[in-house]
Structure 1
């Protein structure tokens, strides 16, 4: 029998976690993983308009200077999210972890995903053609994924978007389809996601999630993969009013609460 996971509204407040009982030790600092859209920055109708508030950027700089490993794990293209955050000393896992960079010019990607770039090229061209007549539909190409946004599509036209993406998926057996907040995505159908990227980064950081505090903050369905791999050893924190069931351990109400949580974490650092 599958474990029943609680709705977000029933989860304890992550702010109380820092206020009441969480103590950090100088010799065992936590690792911090952060989603971008919907977690650090508000979701915009036009993805290009999303931006990191200056005060949040300043807090992240101070958290990094305190000695923490900090990684931004996003569905956005790696170069895009790195540009929007603008902090070269952080790690960035883009396209749900297929493409990773870090300080000192570090860069790696999943070879299996590179092999599927031609299929992504074909699917991108086809979807742009199919959806050209759907007002508000946006086909956004990332290096290792295609995001099809329907936030600005009329409700009566959303089924057309979904059907087009599903049909394209059928034409490319090595791609898989994901859903999210007003978005569908096609990406390589390999065993890799945000959760696998988190585990990979923990190995690179040479920390053990069994003994080191690991925080992951995210708001979307793809963040559930990260909550899942932490398996209660780390602390998954879901953001937003979504009432769905989740594998996160704690919740934050909204993006301002995330900003407050980061400030509180900084205050707690030894």
Structure 2
């Protein structure tokens, strides 16, 4: 199912007259959390997105009561370091790299044979953007991201040109995921955060009769997870409804929260 509303049309998950609680009645939540923009505010430099002590404590308290998984576009080991938590299931690189405290790395390879190409693309991206101030190239396990939030407007367009050129050279092998001031280059396979969440529901044996999955995300890449859970779980988009850039965005989520601060309050209602 696709997007059905804009963000401004959605009920607030903290003030919804009991609608979300009614959807979860009789079942335990299984909570899936994006990292940037959900557990931390969006920041200029990716390395500065360190989770607050309060949010960390709330997530830990929630994880003692129900399954909690972090699903991020970031490299999995980077998410674990920034969170300072080593006892949660983490799906990094949009679910290409999944780890659990019980099993360690969960073996799966949605893009076999792509490592050499991604390494080649990473070096090209670095070489062609190194002269552009404010551009950060972030290599990941199965992809590479080019962040341009700190770049001048003319340099942002240059980043877009470089990314488009790389895709044009490998039209069958690469796909581009645009995000918030970032382009992510991935292997062109049918894998995304939605597929990762469905995979985790299966691997973790989260019986739909006992658990209802809740997915909290803020970015366009989270829409895949919102769509994947329609009819099975609940999508909650994080973004200020008074921000025009956010408010008019079509979404497949069913509820909203305005900010990471509201996310923390919401998670606390589930944890305590």
Superposition TM-score, scaled by structure 2 size: 0.91
**Compared CA separation, residues 222 and 125, structure 1 to 2 (3 A):** same
Unaligned runs of 5+ in 2: 241-245
1:23-102 to 2 correspondences below 5 Å: 28-66=27-65, 68-102=66-100
Distance (whole Å) between structure 2 residues aligned to residue 165 and residue 214 of structure 1: 34
Q: Which residue of 1 aligns with 2:243?
A: none
Distance (whole Å) between structure 1 residues aligned to residue 138 and residue 126 of structure 2: 9
User: Alignment partner of 1:224: what SS?
Assistant: helix
Superposition TM-score, scaled by structure 1 size: 0.92
Alpha-carbon deviations, 1:56-84, whole Å to 9, x = none? 11111111112x11100000001111222
Distance (whole Å) between structure 2 residues aligned to residue 256 and residue 46 of structure 1: 20
Q: Which residue of 2 aligns with 1:132?
A: 130
Distance (whole Å) between structure 1 residues aligned to residue 47 and residue 36 of structure 2: 11
Q: CA deviation at 1:149?
A: 0.5
Q: CA deviation at 1:235?
A: 0.7
User: Alignment partner of 1:111: what SS?
Assistant: coil
Distance (whole Å) between structure 1 residues aligned to residue 61 and residue 212 of structure 2: 18
1:70-219 to 2 correspondences below 5 Å: 70-172=68-170, 173-209=172-208, 212-219=211-218
User: Alignment partner of 1:251: what SS?
Assistant: strand
Q: May I ask how many residue pairs the two structures share in their alignment?
A: 264
Alpha-carbon deviations, 1:119-140, whole Å to 9, x = none? 0111011111111221111111
State which drifts further: 118-127 or 132-141: 132-141
User: Alignment partner of 2:154: what SS?
Assistant: helix
Unaligned runs of 5+ in 1: none
Task: Tell me the C-alpha RMSD between the 2 structures.
Answer: 1.9
Distance (whole Å) between structure 2 residues aligned to residue 204 and residue 182 of structure 1: 33
